[in-house]
Amino acid sequence: MAIVHVPPQMQELTGGLAEVEAEGNSLRRLISNLDTAYPGFKDRLIKDDLVAPGLAISIDNVVTSRGIFAEILEDSVVHIVPAIAGGH
């Protein structure tokens, strides 16, 4: 299963866990499964089928531009980070 690092601002959803495991071969499926286990995940991360404004997803230490269709491997490590942007 993929490992998802939960940033402090989201740990209220995971009961304080900073790291959780989830299945899913795409970011969409991964977040859907996370939302089942920890309700609220999807609302925080996805808006209109896109990664929510201001956020970026790092998969295996590379920030993906593939959005919810990004591939997740069995042993992927996922981080939720701020989007690099010059104003929004």
Handedness of CA 79, 64, 52, 84 (dihedral sign): positive
Size of residue set near other proteins by CB under 8 A:
32
Mask for 39-58, x = binds other proteins (CB under 8 A)? ----xxx-x--x-xxxx--x
74 binds other proteins per the rule CB under 8 A? no
Alpha-carbon distances, residue 39 vs 28, 55, 74, 88 (angstroms): 15, 19, 22, 27
CA–CA distance, 72 with 44 (Å, rounded to integer): 19
| Residue 27 CB, nearest approach to other proteins (Å) | 13
CA–CA distance, 26 with 62 (Å, rounded to integer): 15
Residue with tokens 């920890």: 38
75 binds other proteins per the rule CB under 8 A? no
Which of 49, 74 has the CB closer to other proteins? 49
Per CB under 8 A, residues contacting other proteins are 5, 7-10, 43-45, 47, 50, 52-55, 58, 61-66, 77, 79-88
